[in-house]
Structures are given as C-alpha cells and as structure tokens.
Amino acid sequence: MKKVLIIFLLSSFFSLLHSQTIRPVRDNVGFCWDATEMDAFIEYLTQNADTSVESSSANLVGGISVHDDYLYAGRVYFPLFNKIRTKEVVIFGVTHGTVRKEMNNLKDVIILDEFDKWQGPYGAVSISPLRELIKDQLPPDDYLISNKAQAIEHSIEAFIPFLQHYNRNIKITPIMIPQMSFERMKDVSDKLSKIISNYITENKLIPGKDIFFLISNDADHYGEDFNNSPFGTTEQSHREATDIDRKIISEDLTGKFDFNKLKKFTDDIWPDSLNPAPKPLWCGRYPIVFGLMAIDFVMNAYNAKGIRGTLFKYSDTFTEKVLPIKTTSMGVTAVFSLKHWCGFFTMGLYPGQ
C-alpha cells in the first residue's frame, strides 16, 4: 500500500510539473536565448562599455530601458542592467500595434497573464507572488488577464536574458500598459501602487535591494517606413530628430519627478488631433507615464522621497549600427538607415532628494 501511495504522489508531482504553462519566446532573432551566447555577449559588453556613461548602482531602485535588438542596443542596455541584482522585478511593458490589432485595440486596463513561468536563456523564470495579489486586490474593471496579449508582445521579454544573467533566480511581475488617458492612469496606478507598497511592507522588502522597477520603451521611430519623417531623411534631419528626443528626456524625465513635468511629457509625446505639429513616435509613451506614477507613489510610501531620473545613455540604430559580434545566432529584426532608424535610451531611477 505504501509503495502504491509513493507511486501515486510521484505521478501527481510530475503531472503538475508537466502541466505548468511556460510563456514561449516571442522574438528569437533580436534577443539572446542561449546561455553560452548570453555569457559571451555580456563579456563583450563589459569589455566594450561606453566609458563616458556616468551611472551609479547606489540607491538605484528602477529604470527606463530600451527594448530594441541587442545587436543594435546592447551598449545602451548595459549601463542599467549590469547594476540590477534584486530578487524580483516589476516590469511595465508596451502594448505594441500587433497586440492592439489582435486584441481589438483594448485600452484603459493593465494587462496581466497567468503563465506559471516565462522562458529565459538559463531556464524558466518564476513569477512573483505579487502578480496574484494584484489580481486579487485590484478592482476587476482595472485589469485584463490575457496570455495571448502577453505572448505576442516582446517589450517585456527583452529584459529577461539580462536580468537572468545577473540573477538566475529572478522573479518577475509582467504588466502591459495600453492606451489610457492621463487621469485614468493616475487612478489605476494609484490603486496598483497601494498593492505593491503593502506587498513591500509585509515582506520587509527594500527597493533596489530586494525589488526593482523597470519601464520598457523605445524612443523616436523615424523614417518613411513609420510615416514619420517631418525633417526629411538626411544626416541633418537625423540630428534634428535625435536632438528632440534628448530634449524631452532632459526636460521631462530627468531630475526630481513631479506631475507637471509628466504632464509636459504627455504634451510632447502623445498624439494630439488638435495640434498637428509633428511629435516623436515613442512606443513606450504610456508605460513611461503609468510606470513613473506608480514608482513615485511606491517610493513616497516607502521613504517619502519619491524618485528622480538620471540619463545613462541615449543612442539610436543609425548611430550604433550593428555590434561586430560574429559568433552569435542573434540577428536584427529591421534595417537601419537615414530612412529607417529608432532612438532608445536607458536611465536610472533613484530616491528623490
């Protein structure tokens, strides 16, 4: 009888393991999903880091990051991700056009998933218990659970190989942010932030040491392929467009967070049918606003200091071109030229002063 019971328990255990759903990789070209290659890639970035980048890991609690191809943006990812060693990360991701089309242009709710784990180059990545707390405590009208939406979006998975390289036991809370009004974001992020703050308090977590916050974003998508070339497609137009990106980062996102600066950011970035002036085509404009609101609230609840932003590195695909790494299965998912380029940056979020 004991032998039968042991066999039954083992069978149930292995059935449970087999039944676990693991989110598959979406982009197997632009990102790195092989452990040996990822190790070699990090070694290359370490040896070829941009020495002009000034960044500090002291008190770093969050960041805004590029999610473009590694062979384009590897040197831009690196100054942020080589400082992250926390046990878990909350990630605010983009809802790209592909997802909006498949999901009938959903808006005004955050998007969660119910995968048991996510695939990473060093094995499956666990989900933080925070995700289920959000489902239990956030009003049902404020969120949608969709494995489909999370499976066809790449802006969150872009971070996993870097995070897992530095911490094999990393846990994530993936949250996609679609289009919302400024006031709707304030409302939902306020409620979400209270849940996160309580989770931090109850588990005695320290932001920056135990839990980290990441916002996914790519800056201007410029060129004829994007129907976005208001300055033309010359080297001068490239300088003009990247200067606008840098100006927005400097004026709206750098320094101490406040809602006036964030509102200015929405004026500088968000589409406005009443104002036909050209605006940069950033794909992370909604997660940046939502994420900064949420992180600032959490940090105010934690130490009453809020957050401040520091730019680590800005660049673009035309400037960076393709990193000269030969022994890799990675590739690029789009061309680069003066007629087709994408801006991107990383910045650190620190406690405000």
Which of 275, 282, 276 has the alpha carbon at shortest distance from 248? 282
Give Cβ neighbours of residue 3 (< 8 Å, ≥ 6 apart).
Answer: none
Topology of domain 33-351, CATH: Protocatechuate 4,5-dioxygenase; Chain B (3.40.830)
- Residues 259-280 as b/e (b if ≥16 CB within 10 A, e otherwise) read eebbeebbebbbeeeeeeeebb
CA-nearest of 106, 65, 98 to 82 is: 65
DSSP string for 322-347: -----S-S---SS--BTTEEEEEEEE
φ/ψ (deg, to 5) at 292: -65, -40
What pLDDT shows up at residue 162? 98
**Using an 8 Å Cβ cutoff, are 155 and 93 in contact?**
yes
Check residue 170 and give its pLDDT. 98
CA–CA separation, 266 and 248 (whole Å): 10
The rounded distance, in Å, linking the Cα atoms of 48 and 276 is 42
Per-residue model confidence as pLDDT tens for the chain (353 residues): 444 444 444 444 444 444 589 999 999 999 999 999 999 999 999 999 998 888 888 999 999 999 999 999 999 999 999 999 999 999 999 999 999 999 988 899 999 999 999 999 999 999 999 999 999 999 999 999 999 999 999 999 999 999 999 999 999 999 999 999 999 999 999 999 999 999 999 999 999 999 999 999 999 999 999 999 999 999 999 999 999 999 999 999 999 999 999 999 999 998 776 666 678 999 999 999 999 999 999 999 999 999 999 999 999 999 999 999 988 999 999 999 999 999 999 999 999 97
CA terminus-to-terminus distance, the chain: 66
Q: Give the closest residue to 226 by CA, choosing from 311, 152, 316, 322.
A: 316
CA–centroid distance for 231 within its chain: 29
Nearest CA to 320 out of 34, 52, 68, 38 is that of 68
Q: What is the DSSP string of 79-112?
A: HHHTT---SEEEEEEE--HHHHHHTTS--SSEEE
- State how far the Cα of 253 lies from the Cα of 269, in Å rounded to an integer: 12
Q: CA angle, 80 as apex, 77 and 84 as ends, to 5°?
A: 120
* Tokens read off for 235: 């080297």
- The pLDDT of residue 327 is 87
Q: Tokens in use for 340?
A: 């087709």
Angle at 204 between CA 203 and CA 208, to 5 degrees: 110
Q: What is the pLDDT of residue 54?
A: 82
The separation between CA 343 and the C-alpha centre of its own chain, rounded to angstroms, equals 15
Phi, psi of 346 (to 5 degrees): -125, 145
Classify burial at 40, counting beta carbons within 10 Å of its beta carbon; exposed 0-12, middle 13-18, buried 19 or more.
middle
Task: Tell me how far apart the alpha carbons of residues 292 and 296 are, in angstroms, rounded to a whole number.
Answer: 6
Residue listed under structure tokens 């897992």: 164
Distance, in Å, from the CA atom of 318 to the CA atom of 337, rounded to the nearest integer, reads 6
Residue 242: the pLDDT is 98
CA 222, chain centre distance (Å)? 21
Q: What is the pLDDT of residue 278?
A: 78
Say if CB 306 and CB 232 are below 8 A apart.
no
The single-letter code of the amino acid at 133 is L
Residues with Cβ < 8 Å from 162, sequence gap 6 or more?
A: 42, 77, 81, 84
Residues 322, 337: contact at Cβ < 8 Å?
Answer: no
